[in-house]
């Protein structure tokens, strides 16, 4: 079986959870005998006739530009929706109200129309959680018969992580809070810095900025409380060691689906404080501290609570349920279903 993977056009420049999902799914699928190709300069879209199907990662509105070529090829596609938004802006509310009239000329002005077309024509939709499915159903028209929940995954190697490497290199006190990922408004990094400053908790931030002005504000407010470390390769042993070294891992994002880095930190034995939005409770159950990213007090309290508790290895047990091996098996089942 040959499958063509399609990811965000600049995702590999700002490597994040969606890219990890695609890369690790591909790696495990190949171990199951699937040949994975990637859309890019070396593989043109009209060559997809040599593939059995396509797998799109993310319900991005610009993916609808691929639809004519996909239809011409006669090949089906599945869509890992990876779709959640901070709030419902006015344009989305307008889309919901005016869907019956879109063909009267509004369709060219709403990216949501393009997403609806993308959802309509997919052979299967593969959200990461039931919460994500419900969110999509609230905004779009979805055929429930086409939905297959395929969770995000985590590499079991993080179970073996130890703190020694990170502590030896950075000489940071072991009781510190950690954040890894992109540094930007959606990730709410600034609110985390403020919470740690208020609580007197050392904070380590590992990642790259996606908004320069926001990053400069983080650096300014983080003086004396936050240590900034440039993004580490996902395979770097130093990253796994950082997870094992921290007392508390925090993801105060507007939403997560569910935050692969939090699953990795959980396997390494860290306490987890995470946003309550985006299906996180389906992954962590009662083994994490949930915070409201729109409420600074909630973030403050989550940091204090997470640092006051002994390391909670219950989160490790929860995270063990979500391995990339299992994700790949479910994904392959979806492919086989589409191809009959």
Give all domains of the chain, ordered by start, each with its CATH number: 2-153+323-339 (3.40.50.2000), 156-319 (3.40.50.2000)
Distances (CA, A) of 261 to 18, 39, 267, 312: 11, 26, 10, 17
pLDDT single digits (tens) 53-66: 999 999 998 898 88
User: In angstroms, rounded to a whole number, what is the distance separating the alpha carbons of residues 169 and 247?
Assistant: 17
| Residue 273, φ and ψ in degrees, nearest 5 | -120, 125
pTM score, whole prediction:
0.80
pLDDT single digits (tens) 257-269: 888 999 999 999 9
pLDDT single digits (tens) 128-169: 999 999 989 988 899 999 999 999 999 989 999 999 999 999
pLDDT single digits (tens) 75-94: 999 999 998 765 555 555 55
Question: 38: which strand partners?
Answer: 5
Tokens of 53: 């199907």
Residue 93's pLDDT is: 58
User: In angstroms, rounded to a whole number, what is the distance separating the alpha carbons of residues 38 and 291?
Assistant: 37
Residue 44's pLDDT is: 64
The verdict on whether omega for the bond into residue 258 sits within 30 degrees of 0, i.e. cis, is: yes
Q: Give the rounded distance of the alpha carbon of 276 from its chain centre.
A: 14
User: In angstroms, rounded to a whole number, what is the distance separating the alpha carbons of residues 7 and 49?
Assistant: 19
User: In angstroms, rounded to a whole number, what is the distance separating the alpha carbons of residues 269 and 257?
Assistant: 20
Residue 163: which of 122, 204, 191, 108 has the closest Cα? 204
Q: Where are the beta strands (DSSP E) in the chain?
A: 2-6, 35-38, 53-57, 77-80, 124-125, 177-180, 203-206, 226-229, 248-251, 271-275, 289-291
């Amino acid at each position: 079986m040959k499958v063509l993977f399609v990811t965000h056009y600049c995702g590999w420049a700002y490597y994040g959870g969606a890219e990890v999902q695609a890369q690790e799914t591909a790696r495990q699928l190949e171990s199951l005998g699937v040949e994975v190709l990637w859309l890019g300069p070396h593989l043109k879209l009209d060559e997809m006739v040599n593939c059995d199907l396509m797998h799109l990662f993310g319900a991005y509105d610009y993916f609808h530009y691929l639809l004519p070529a996909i239809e011409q090829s006669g090949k089906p596609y599945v869509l890992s929706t990876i779709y959640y938004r901070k709030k419902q802006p006015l344009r989305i509310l307008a889309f919901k109200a005016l869907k019956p009239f879109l063909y009267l000329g509004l369709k060219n002005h709403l990216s949501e129309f393009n997403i609806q077309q993308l959802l309509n024509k997919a052979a299967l939709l593969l959200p990461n959680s039931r919460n994500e499915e419900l969110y999509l159903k609230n905004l779009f028209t979805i055929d429930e018969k086409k939905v297959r929940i395929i969770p995000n995954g985590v590499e079991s190697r993080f179970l073996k992580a130890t703190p020694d490497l990170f502590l030896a290199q950075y000489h940071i006190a072991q009781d510190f809070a950690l954040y890894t990922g992109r540094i930007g408004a959606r990730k709410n990094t600034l609110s985390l810095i403020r919470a740690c400053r208020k609580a007197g908790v050392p904070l380590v931030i590992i990642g790259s900025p996606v908004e320069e002005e926001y990053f400069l504000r983080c650096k300014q407010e983080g003086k004396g409380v936050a240590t900034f470390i440039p993004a580490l390769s996902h395979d770097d042993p130093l990253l796994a060691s950082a997870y094992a070294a921290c007392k508390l891992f925090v993801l105060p994002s507007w939403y997560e689906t569910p935050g692969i880095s939090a699953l990795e930190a959980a396997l390494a034995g860290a306490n987890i404080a995470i946003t309550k939005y985006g299906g996180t409770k389906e992954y962590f159950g009662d083994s994490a501290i949930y915070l409201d990213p729109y409420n600074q007090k909630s973030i403050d309290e989550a940091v204090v609570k997470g640092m006051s508790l002994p390391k909670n290895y219950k989160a490790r047990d929860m995270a063990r349920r979500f391995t990339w091996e299992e994700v790949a098996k479910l994904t392959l089942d979806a492919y086989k279903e589409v191809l009959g």
